[in-house]
Amino acid sequence: MGGRMRLSLCVGAVICGALVTGAALADRAHGEDGQQVYKQANCVGCHKWSGVGGGGYGGAALSLRKTELSVDQIVEIVTCGRPGTGMPHFTSDPYGARGCYGLTADDVKDMMPPAANVVLRPQEIEDVARYVVDDIKGKDEPMLADCTAFFGDASRACDLYRPQTTAAASHHVMPTPTTTR
């Protein structure tokens, strides 16, 4: 399964380099692993980096900041997708013999959710579900600190959230008032 994820992502993707070091990631804290999965499995593509969701390919992805779901429930959704919606399943053949939500392919019929472009291992699904609950769920509007935690401090992707540069610059050159006497 892991092999498949690697392969499918490395076809025309930008992150092959990151995947080569994938083994090293195993040692990291789960939160960090979860964020890696969130990026590599392209949850970002539909839910956005901050989890706000919104329109896009795959329909209107729900806000993960506003989700009420637990880790276990998110594990199930990522494993199984959500029938009748654009939320894809990240395992192969989840509606096979054992089924998902107690349903098999015969029950789900044309409500079958799409297959994601990557297949995740159970550990990766657990990690990403924990990341959603610990780092996204329950947060308000995304702020600069959330953005740099995702993209890194230097990223221009976060400029939007920075105080306006001109204002900041002029603030710095303001002479410090000397005591008048």
Residue with smaller CB distance to ligand HEC, 86 or 99: 86
Distance of CA 160 to the CA centre of its chain: 20
Segment interacting with ligand HEC, rule: CB under 6 A, options 54-62, 96-104, 150-158, 160-168: 54-62
Q: Give the residue, chosen from 6, 31, 52, 58, that forms a contact with ligand HEC under the rule CB under 6 A.
A: 58
Is 119 an interacting residue with respect to ligand HEC (CB under 6 A)? no
Distance CA 100, CA 80 (A): 6
Q: How far is the CB of 175 from ligand HEC (least distance, A)?
A: 51
Q: Give the residue, chosen from 13, 18, 42, 99, that forms a contact with ligand HEC under the rule CB under 6 A.
A: 42
Residue with smaller CB distance to ligand HEC, 8 or 85: 85
Residue with smaller CB distance to ligand HEC, 64 or 158: 64
Amino acid at 141: E
Distance CA 31, CA 33 (A): 5
What residue ranges bind ligand HEC (CB under 6 A)?
A: 41-43, 45-47, 58-62, 64, 67, 69, 74, 77-78, 82, 85-88, 90, 116, 128, 132
